[in-house]
Amino acid sequence: MSNNKIIALKPGRDLDREAALKIMDYMWITHLLRFSAEMAIKWIGTQKELDEAGGVFIPVKPADFQELKYRENFDENVPAYSTTLTHAQSIIEKMTALGFTHHSEEVTADGQTTYTLSFESSAKPVTKISAASQAEAIVKAALLAIS
């Protein structure tokens, strides 16, 4: 996803999915056994879910991605990273574990608060992002830093 598309995303499920898949180690998974095309579905899950399923679920191979349908509520396990600060904090923790440092600034003018945030590593230039909510700024800054 391009930087412009990341910046244009509104806080919500689409932005949360991007963060889950690109930062937080979520993956597309499916059932190991597919009895019919109607049952060939995919959803977003974690390695922990794969491990706990005892081999019933497998990661979706890129070649199989388009042929599989989305399960209803396919992203129900994805936290609300872009709208809930406690979930967004886990993105800061993950980015720190990946070797990034974060910088944040909060500015209030005319009753409006703007959060400016960036993640920095020695290998990448800093890209700052400003948003009306801290959670949104965290998610977008992290996605820009790893893109």
pLDDT tens for residues 27-55? 999 888 766 666 678 889 999 988 998 88
Q: What is the pLDDT of residue 37?
A: 61
Q: What is the pLDDT of residue 125?
A: 72
Q: Are 135 and 117 in contact (CB under 8 A)?
A: no
pTM (two decimals): 0.87
* Count of Cβ atoms closer than 10 Å to residue 14 Cβ: 14
CATH domain 3-22+79-146 topology: Bacillus phage protein (3.30.2120)
Among 100-104, 126-130, 139-143, the least confident range? 126-130
Which of helix, strand or coil describes residue 121?
A: strand
Domain extent listing, the chain: 3-22+79-146, 27-70
Q: What is the pLDDT of residue 137?
A: 97
